[in-house]
Each structure stands twice: as C-alpha cells, then as structure tokens.
Chains A and B, each alone.
Chain A
C-alpha cells in the first residue's frame, strides 16, 4: 500500500473510445504527476499539478487531457488514442513539486491497451 491508488488497473479500449484514468492519494501531498512507462524506456513525465495548478505539460498530445479537481485527486481523460499509446500509466504524488529532498510516491499504474 503506497498511499496512491489508481483505477482501473487494466484498460482495453478501441481507438474511438473515450475513457478516464483515476488517481487518488491519501498522503496529504500537494503535487501530483502523470507518467507514461513503456517497456525498456525511461519514465516519461506527462503532466504535473502543484497545489491544483498545472505546472508542466511535456508536449503531450491533446488526446490526453488531465484534470485535477483537488490536491487528492487526478484524472487523465483519454480520447481517440493510437496504438503507440499502449503503455503503463503511473500516477505519483509528492509533498510539493520540486521539493528538494522529497521522493515521489507512485501508484501501481493502469495498464492501457489500445486495439
């Protein structure tokens, strides 16, 4: 139990579907992150929210749309995805973004497969 819960754990969707990934953290943190993890590649940072404000958007295609209604919840809305978007999507949280010694705490991820 890492204190960061992601749902669903697995998701299979067609390219024309719309779905959402959910992340909830119970650690009292103020920063939340979305990462994409593909096999044998480094973690790719997608979005960062610090105190509910988006502070990073690393050139992510618009078919990925984040939402952070409060410091404990983070969503990733998906639509018209491509096969290359199949990956593990990890959510993380930390006390605040860029805090000097603060590690990020990760959820178990959502394994996304695009048909």
Chain B
C-alpha cells in the first residue's frame, strides 16, 4: 500500500527553527508538495520538490531525497502565525496525490 508518515504534533519556540519530517512509500514518484493549513481555513500551497535537494523560499525551505523516500520542511525564525498544520503529499505514478495526516505545529512565546 501507499503510505505517508509525519509526526502528529510538534512544539517549538518563537524565533527558533523547526524541521518537520515526511517519509513516504508510494508506487512511483512525481513530486512532493507541502501545504500549510490554519485551523478552520483552506490548505495553502507552500512548496514543491521533484528533484533531490533543497528548495528555499524565504523563511521556509523544503528538502527531498528520493532514494530515501524522505522530505523535510524547515521553518526558520518562527512566528506565532506559523502555528498551523503542515501537510505532506506525494504524487504517485498515476499523478494521484497521496496525503499524510499532517503535523500540527504549536509555537510558544
């Protein structure tokens, strides 16, 4: 079967750095997405990785290793507004999106 694993919940301090990991086992691979979802709101697109390496976008970076079936989302200089759920999704060989259950990130002052 296809599976995406993420930690259920993480806690970090304002101003710090946090890394949210995602491991996947899918039939084929055609890219990995990260989304942010604030409570009661729409998931919003953060990043896309299809090749190995690090993609940086301001305070957020996303890393991919296809050989290890592994990605992480790195958030720097954490702000209170970063408190949200972070969803990892992988596009399989049929271009279907397989979703993780999401990681709830709690930021403390």
Contact = CB atoms under 8 A, between A and B. Distances in A.
A105 B45 contact: yes
Given A101-B50, A103-B45, A108 B40 contact: yes
Contacts, number: 51
Interface of B: 4, 8, 30-31, 33, 35, 40-45, 48, 50, 87, 89, 94-102
A95 to B, nearest CB: 13
The 7 closest A-B pairs by CB, nearest first: A98-B95, A103-B45, A106-B42, A42-B99, A43-B99, A106-B43, A108-B42
B26 to A, nearest CB: 12
Interface string A12-43: 00000000000000000000000000001111
Contacts of A99: 95
